[in-house]
Structure 1
Amino acid sequence: MANPDTRTQILDAAEHLFAEHGYRGTSVRAITGLAGANLAAVGYHFGSKAELMAAVARRAIEPINAAQCAGLDALLARTPDPAVGELVEAFAGPLFDGMPAGDEGGARRSRLIMTILSDPADEARGWTGPAEDTVRERYLAAFARALPGLSPDELRFRMRGILAVTAVDRLEAHQRPSPGCASPVAGEAARRWAITFLTAAMTAPPTRT
């Protein structure tokens, strides 16, 4: 098998370090050192550290977005108004598929998504573009039709909750349990439980103001 090219080695190293230390806690020197590349390689292949962060995030997220779009297309081909549970499964299911337990790549992606959700650096979230916006807006529109009592702001909050809950579950699935603690449930059971829980959360009554 051929060795990965320099660009791929940098992406792999950056994904590992951004996920572990965040955007600001990761230096270009650390990335190139882990990748076995020279210091100028980041600028040559990506232009800047921020653009490298964007490339890392897109590499992890784009396959998930594509699967989410395909799932929504399949639902809408069957009915213009899918049930909330079906929408939750189409939206959250690809996150489980893209972060399988027992897979180091899945572990890195789960940590990276947690970084994107929680890192205070603007660069950790400022990489999104029209493709990512389209996926989010399509699901927002579908959920809004299914949940007309929710305000747009509360609906967006609940959708962020789907991402957060799924990412935390996948992260725990890859962690070594502490002594005396049960191992996290991985695989199909965790996926089913998450879909049930998240569907209940999405269909909860609107919050009174």
Structure 2
Amino acid sequence: MATPDTRTQLLDAAEYLFAEHGYRGTSVRAITKLAGANLAAVGYHFGSKAELMAAVARRVIEPINAAQCAGLDKLLARTPDPSVSELVEAFAGPLFDEMSAGDEGGSRTSRLIVTILSDPAEEARGWTGPGEDTVRERYLAAFARVLPGLSPEELRFRIRGILAVTAVDRLEVHQQPSPGCTSPVAGEAARRWAITFLTAAMSAPPTRT
């Protein structure tokens, strides 16, 4: 097997450290040390720590975005009026696929997504580009057609909720349960429960102002 190049080693190291310690809690020195690279390597390959964060996020998120787009295309080709449940499954399904409960890679992806959603550092959330925006806007439009009573702002909030709930669930299955607590359920059962729960959340009446 070929040895990963320096750029890939930096991405792997940064993904692990950003997921574990957040953006501000991770130094360039720590990344290059874990990657076995010299201190100037981040600047050479990425330009800055912020650009490295963006590259890490894109590497994790873009396969999910592609699967979400493909799922929506397939769904809309079958019916112009999909149900809320079908839209939720098309959007959330790839999150379960890319954040498998059975391996450390899935756990790391989950932790990184939680970091992107919650890290106070702007650099952790400033990586998004046209591809991410396109996916979100397509699902926003699809949900708006089936849930016309919700404002765009509330729809956006609920879609963010799908990301948060799924990432936290996938992350929890990798944590050691506290003594006396039942281990979280992994696999197809958890996926079905999530789709049911998130469908109900998306379908709830509009919030009264």
**TM-score (norm: length of structure 2):** 0.99
In structure 2, the residue matched to 1:80 is: 80
Partner of 2:8: 8
Q: Which runs of 5+ in 2 are unaligned?
A: none
Q: For residue 160 of structure 1, what is the aligned residue in structure 2?
A: 160
User: For the aligned residues, what is the CA RMSD?
Assistant: 0.6
Counterpart CA distance in 2 for 1:173 and 1:73 is 31
Corresponding position: 1:64 with 2:64: yes
Paired with 1:85 and 1:103, the residues of 2 have a C-alpha distance of 27
Alpha-carbon distance in 2 for matches of 1:174, 1:69: 28
Cα distance in 2 for residues equivalent to 1:125 and 1:60: 13
Matched with 2:50 is: 50
Distance in 2, Cα, partners of 1:23 & 1:93:
27
Cα-to-partner distance string for 1:156-189 (whole Å, 9 max, x where unaligned): 1111110000000000011111211111100100
Question: Using the alignment, how far apart are the partners of 2:137 and 2:166 within structure 1?
Answer: 19
Q: Using the alignment, how far apart are the partners of 1:174 and 1:8 within structure 2?
A: 25
Shift of 1:23: 0.5
Counterparts of 1:26-175 in structure 2, within 5 Å, are 26-175=26-175
Aligned-partner Cα distance in 2 for 1:81–1:121: 39
Q: Among all aligned residue pairs of Structure 1 and Structure 2, give the percentage whose two residues are the same amino acid.
A: 89
SS in 1 for 2:42: helix
Which residue type is aligned with residue 106 of structure 1? Answer: G
Aligned length: 209
Residue type of the partner of 1:117? Answer: L
Structure 2 residue aligned with 1:18: 18
Correspondence 1:186-205 to 2 at 5 A: 186-205=186-205
Query: 1:4-35: per-residue Cα shift (whole Å, max 9, x none)?
Result: 11111110100000001111110000000011
How far apart are 1:3 and its partner, in Å? Answer: 1.6
How far apart, in 1, do the equivalents of 2:5 and 2:167 lie? Answer: 29
Give secondary structure in 2 for the equivalent of 1:60.
Answer: helix
Moved over 2 A (4+): none
Aligned-partner Cα distance in 2 for 1:99–1:178: 22
Give the SS at the match of 2:102: coil
Q: Deviations over 1:109-151 (max 9, x none)?
A: 0000000000011110111000000000000000000100001
In structure 2, distance between residues paired with 1:112 and 1:102: 17
**Counterpart amino acid of residue 43 in structure 2:** G
Shift of 1:83: 0.5
Gaps of 5+ in 1: none
Matches within 5 A, 1:177-192: 177-192=177-192
